[in-house]
Amino acid sequence: MEVGIAVEVGIAVEVGIALEVGIPLEVGIPVSGARRRVVADDADPQAAGVRPRHARQVRFTPFGAAAQQRLATSHALIVGVGALGSHVADTLARAGVGRLTLVDRDVVEESNLQRQILFDEADARAGRPKAEAAAEALRAIDASLHIDALVAHFDLRTFERLPARPDLIVDGTDNFATRYLLNDLAISSGTPWIHGAVIGAEGRAMVVLPGETACLRCIMPEAPPPGALDTCDTAGVLAPAVAQVAAVQSLEALKLLGGLRDQLVRGLVVIDAWRASTALFLRDAKPRADCVACGARSFPALTEDPADVVALCGRDAVQVRPRTAGDVDLAGLAARLGDAVTGVELRRGMLRFALPDGSARITLFADGRALVFGSDDVDRARAVYDRYVGLGGR
């Protein structure tokens, strides 16, 4: 016997006011020996081609075999595979999302290991590019997945050069410039995206469905000015908070890629991990008519030059990116640097060196982009770049 009842599934919420965020579900309650039949009623997992590793999530009735099959043919673009991105990538890969594209400009450092779950000490010692290290870790989890790793700063050019258009974009970034770019790309192209952000023990997550729900610009018309907010440097970040935000992003991604759009949580999820509090604001918020992206269909991040020198959140580092594209002759530059610098290390696609006084370390990539470690002073980083790399290296 199986009884269908409507159950209000509440997310415990505490924001000073009592608030219940309900997700109405039709749940079949197994009364006696009905558990097997609940799955069989949806679809026989094996008959539906579900792999044994996904049996448990398929057994969860609201998800089921049909959603699992859709996952297998879906494609998620994860921009940034640091804290949030590595958690989300891990979950989506294990869940069976057939294709993942990982984009990250950064390299693994020891300070990442506290919260960036796809990396280990060997990655940090080697200073491996995060996208490559993450892709390798994911392939070890499921070798059948199609995973592309792009070691690059994410910009419009990167997006346009993707080998395939994604069904979903996931925000694993740590800066607003890239988030607004993701937003504008998503709204202009009609691609859903899932915003996520975390600092300290606090986080945000929000599904953006172009034309259906409010976008990032709807809820925050302008990015905070430099220095207006705490960063990972000043406020730190706790891994459990990262995990909570990434869990929301991941689950909404699975619903969306699984074709369960009517089950998506629509609104701004606000997480205070320290107080075990989760709240939903802007529930069912629609695109705003006064939003520059949703209303005016103007996409500033697609037309304005991005900052070419940006401080990296929590890294004591600055990324310097030359305005003009072009490959750098790394070997030639290494030879020219000679003993003007120390610790020269030339590897495939990467040149590392340090200033003689130890005040900065530079990792230069073949596309001319550099990470200048040792300070978050963007002007100083630009000067270091100009002094040791400059146009002469390209």
Q: Which residues bind other proteins (CB under 8 A)?
A: 15-17, 19, 80, 82-85, 171-176, 196-204, 219-224, 228-232, 235, 237, 268, 270, 272, 274-275, 279-283, 285, 313-314
392, with CB counted inside 10 A (0-12, 13-18, 19+), is exposed
Instruction: Give min distance, CB of 35 to other proteins, in A.
Output: 37
User: Residue 355's Cα: distance from chain center in Å?
Assistant: 32
The total number of residues written for the chain in this structure: 394
| Distance, CA of 201 to CA of 274 (rounded, Å) | 6
The residue (of 272 and 329) whose beta carbon lies closer to other proteins is 272
Minimal distance in Å, beta carbon 40 to other proteins?
40
When the beta carbons of 54 and 217 are compared against other proteins, the nearer one is: 217
The residue type of 185 is L
Q: Which is nearer to other proteins, 311 or 362 (CB)?
A: 311
Quickly tell me which residue has 């610098």 as its tokens: 341
CA distance 47 to 140: 26
Nearer residue to other proteins within complex by CB, 178 or 191: 178
Contact 384, 360 (CB under 8 A): yes
Least distance from other proteins to the Cβ atom of residue 313, Å: 5
Question: In the numeric block, which tokens belong to residue 96?
Answer: 């069976």
Q: CB-wise, 272 or 377, nearer to other proteins?
A: 272
Comparison of 142 and 184: residue with beta carbon closer to other proteins:
184
Token code pair at residue 160:
């346009």
CB of 306 to other proteins, least distance (A): 16
Closer CB to other proteins, 43 or 265, in the complex: 265
Nearer to other proteins, 169 or 237 (CB): 237
> Cα(18)–Cα(3) distance, rounded to whole angstroms?
31
> Nearer to other proteins by C-beta: 72 or 131?
131
What is the nearest approach in angstroms of other proteins to the Cβ of residue 317? 14
64 half-sphere exposure, CB direction, 13 A CA radius? 15
Q: CA-to-CA distance for 164 and 148, rounded, in angstroms?
A: 10
Burial class of residue 203 (count of CB atoms within 10 Å of its CB; 0-12, 13-18, 19+): buried
Q: Which DSSP letter does residue 193 get?
A: E
86 and 117 in contact (C-beta within 8 Å)?
Answer: yes
Cβ of residue 149: shortest distance to other proteins, in angstroms?
Answer: 18
Extended beta strands in 234-276, E state:
268-272
Contacts of 183 (CB under 8 A, 6+ apart): 193, 195, 208, 215, 216, 217, 293, 301
CB of 177 to other proteins, least distance (A): 10
Token output for 2: 């199986």
Element (H, E) at 183: helix 176-189
* Residue 376 near residue 311, CB atoms below 8 Å: yes
Q: How far is the CB of 283 from other proteins (least distance, A)?
A: 7
Cβ at position 131, least distance to other proteins in Å? 15
> CB of 95 within 8 A of CB of 170?
no
